Amino acid sequence: MFFCSISGEPPQDPVVSQKSGQVYERRLIVKYINENGTDPLTGDKLEEADLITIKANPKSAAPRPPNATSIPALLQTLQNEWDAAMLEAFTLRQQNNSLRQELSVALYMQDAATRVVARLMRERDAAREALASVSATMGVAAPSNGDVDMGEVQEAGGIPEGPLKQINETHETLSAARKKRKAPAGHATPAEVKNFAATHTIPSLHSSSPAGITSIAVSSTSPAQFLTGGNDKIVQLYDKDTDKVLASLKGHTKKVNHVSFREHQSEPTLLLSAGADKIAKIWSHDSASGEYIPKHTIRTHKGELTGLAVHPTSTILALSSTDKTYSLHDLNTFDAIFHSPESDEPFTGLSVHPDGALFALGTPASTIQIYDVRSGAVAASLAPPDGVPFTVNSLSFSENGYHLLAPSSLSSLAIWDLRKLKVAQTISLGDGFKVNKVAYDYSAQFFGVAGNEGLRLFAHKSWEELARFEEGGEVTSFAFGANGKEVWGASGRDVRIWGSSA
């Protein structure tokens, strides 16, 4: 007599496994194979085709089942049913706990989302108020349409009273004079710019390894002097009239991204630089030694410095960084005045409004964030038409404060009208052009763009291309000279000067 290895009872339809040699009831072993695919005793892989039907003698009568006569068997059956019920209750308890946890997480997320929405609504209202305030100072009404994306308001955290007073006084003075502001007497006109030609080249500046000038600034008090920063980590002051390097300043550990002068009648001249090594350095002239010496190193930021600008007060330095923050520093005490909270995007470019009330900060997400310097609030977020994402690596406010020049794509420019917060004009530079720097001249009559195909100058308002200089190859940075009569461009290790040949 055979007994099923699963039920322990005589099988009604017996089969034997080729893998283990055990006898099973067909319906039980088939069900087990469908659920597990293995032999229940040995654990070996088992398929239904591996089962062989056993044909018993039809004259043999099966005995009465044990559960019909045996009390121990009945007790065993009850025990099995109890165990099964307990296992099922345990499984249900586990599922219940899991569902409770999922429900708790869902309720927490809903509560957090509700609080975030409420905060964003408050910040949106505050940003609208800030925009209305900024628009009022510019003599225009805040737009009510959807042309400007309002950004998140950032708490300033308290700019000290002294610098804040200077910022307000400077803003009031310059803003009041804006409507009467005209091009200075003797300043270059667009007609004169058309006749610009190469007048001078200063070769072999900075080290040849790694070669390349990354930034240039021209002195406003000594027009023959200019400042350069290079891939060789050096800041260099040069005098064109004497063709001599006046200072070769070391201190950066990576390439120098930006350089600038701080020149003011009542203040000593400072040389400023910001680099990929996350630091900004300040040098001043030492009358005793006759050389420029380091005065201070700013280590506020945790990312590469991508923007450097001197505020119109001449006492405040602004820096932007890929760590998603910008900062303000006092150039008299070298103390940090303000360090912004983290934004949603890294900052890749910086420009200060000529009245000192606004900052424009570029991002790698194609947008331009405009901040109110005094409140630290995002006044507006400018975004060009949809297209291929690009990095806004350079920006420039016009001197009259009404327009902002910035790339609108990888190879085009946008002139934003800040009174309407709309693009006034888009200029295509050609599919192969890559923008390195943009800048308005002081009179806001014309502007330039430097890139991998040289330097181009355009007239403001008519948008006519006035001049194109391609003989030096790629121009990484440029600056306008005194009265806009010259334009200085950095090309490789050379500084090229274009101007009137007369």
Query: Can you tell me which residue has the tokens 């950032």?
Result: 154
Task: Look at residues 163, 164, 175, 181 and name the one whose alpha carbon lies nearest to residue 137.
Answer: 175
449 touches 474 (CB < 8 A): no
pLDDT in the model for residue 155: 39
CATH architecture classification, 161-169+191-500: 7 Propeller (2.130)
Distance CA 359, CA 338 (A): 13
- Class of 1-63 per CATH? alpha beta
Q: Where are the domains of the chain?
A: 1-63, 161-169+191-500
The total number of residues shown for the chain amounts to 502
- Encode pLDDT of 169-192 as tens digits: 888 888 877 666 777 788 899 999
Query: Can you tell me which residue has the tokens 């055979």?
Result: 2
Per-residue pLDDT band for 388 (boundaries 50, 70, 90) equals confident
Q: 91 pLDDT exceeds 80?
A: yes
pLDDT in the model for residue 11: 86
Task: Look at residues 268, 269, 286, 281 and name the one whose alpha carbon lies nearest to residue 234.
Answer: 281
- State which amino acid sits at residue 105: V
pLDDT in the model for residue 281: 96
Mean pLDDT value across the chain: 87
- What percent of the chain stands above pLDDT 70? 90
Averaged pLDDT, 482-488: 91
pTM for the model stands at 0.68
Averaged pLDDT, 234-257: 93
H/E run at residue 449: strand 446-451
H/E run at residue 407: strand 403-409
Per-residue pLDDT band for 401 (boundaries 50, 70, 90) equals confident
CA 213 to chain centroid, in Å, comes to 24
- Encode pLDDT of 20-67 as tens digits: 889 999 999 899 999 888 888 888 899 999 899 988 665 555 665 665
SS3 of residue 171 by DSSP = helix
pLDDT in the model for residue 500: 84
Query: Can you tell me which residue has the tokens 């800040």?
Result: 418
Structural tokens at position 405? 């020049």
